Amino acid sequence: MSEATNKEETPQAGATTGIEELTRQRDEFRDMVKTVRAEFENYQKRQQRELAAERRFAQSPLALDLLPAIDNLDRAVQSAKQAGDTGPLAAGVQMVVQQMLDQLKRHGIVRMEAKFQPFDAVRHTAVTQIPSTDHPPMTVLEVFESGYMHHDRVLRPASVAVAVAPPEPAGDN
Chain Cα centroid distance, residue 149: 9
| 140, 160 contact by CB (below 8 A) | yes
Sheet holding 109-111, edge to edge: 109-111, 148-150, 153-156
Give 109's contacts (C-beta < 8 A, 6+ positions apart).
59, 63, 148, 149, 150, 155
* CA–CA distance, 162 with 154 (Å, rounded to integer): 19
**Which pairing describes strands 153-156 and 148-150: parallel, antiparallel, or unpaired?**
antiparallel
pTM of the model: 0.69
The whole-number pLDDT of residue 172 equals 52
Chain Cα centroid distance, residue 85: 40
| 60, 155 contact by CB (below 8 A) | yes
The whole-number pLDDT of residue 141 equals 93
**Which pairing describes strands 124-131 and 140-145: parallel, antiparallel, or unpaired?**
unpaired
The whole-number pLDDT of residue 117 equals 93
Query: Mean pLDDT for each 10-residue chunk of the chain (173 residues)?
Result: 48 72 93 95 94 88 92 92 87 93 93 93 93 91 94 93 85 54
Strand, helix or coil at 110? strand
The whole-number pLDDT of residue 168 equals 79
* CA–CA distance, 83 with 71 (Å, rounded to integer): 18
The whole-number pLDDT of residue 13 equals 57
